[in-house]
Structure 1
Amino acid sequence: MTARTARHWVRTVRWYLRELTGEAEYDRYCERHRRRHPQAPVPTRREYDAMRTSYREAHPEGRCC
């Protein structure tokens, strides 16, 4: 395995894990928030998770439970 191939695999696994854990979603939210509301402070990860949970509970998407 070449160094280039190894770097590719590391980047791919890192991308997958960030998507799986939701870390990438928070990063995308922060970028969008900074663009749309440049003067407002960006919520912390904990605040973001609380907002996301509240929204999902208030707007269920056809879940059975």
Structure 2
Amino acid sequence: TVEAHSPSREMFGFERLGALLREKGSLPPAELIEAAIAEVDAFRQGAAQHDDMTLLVLRVE
């Protein structure tokens, strides 16, 4: 996820991932994964995905 690139080759990065988690971290795990994938897809703006995307969500109580 953090290595996803925009059409201008900018990486999604840890900063954007952190912002996403701060904003949507209270969602249930499945919804958080969906939100993260949607956010990365929007960031990529149709740019090809050159690698797999792995997401793991753990909720600590």
**TM-score category (smaller protein):** 0.3 to 0.5
Q: Which has the higher helix share?
A: 1
TM-score, with normalisation over the residues of structure 1?
A: 0.31
| Normalised TM-score (structure 2) | 0.32
Whichever of the two has the greater Rg, that structure is 1
